[in-house]
Amino acid sequence: MINAQNTGRSVRIFTARSLNGAPLNKIYLTHGQITAGGEVKFEMDSGPDYKWATGSDARPPPLSRN
């Protein structure tokens, strides 16, 4: 289930994310996380969160290693 809280016309950017109640600090979900089910929750705001997912571990791994 995907749940977005505090939505509205002026609220277009998500500022907090969680997967099954645990903070989510990656910009992706793995196939295993998706198939396991659960709840992804977004809290919306009118401005960006410049601190979210800034670490190199927040990016997905490469699909191939050429």
pLDDT at 20 over 90: yes
- Calculate mean pLDDT across residues 20-37: 90
* CB neighbours of residue 17 within 10 Å: 18
CA torsion sign, 46 to 28 to 57 to 17? Answer: positive
Closest CA to 5 of 45, 49, 43: 43
Q: Give the pLDDT score at 65.
A: 67
Closest CA to 12 of 48, 49, 46: 46
Q: What percent of the chain has pLDDT over 90?
A: 15
Q: Phi, psi at residue 36, to the nearest 5°?
A: -75, -15
Is the model's pTM score more than 0.85?
A: no
Q: Give the pLDDT score at 66.
A: 64
User: Tens digits of per-residue pLDDT, 41-62?
Assistant: 988 888 888 888 888 888 888 8
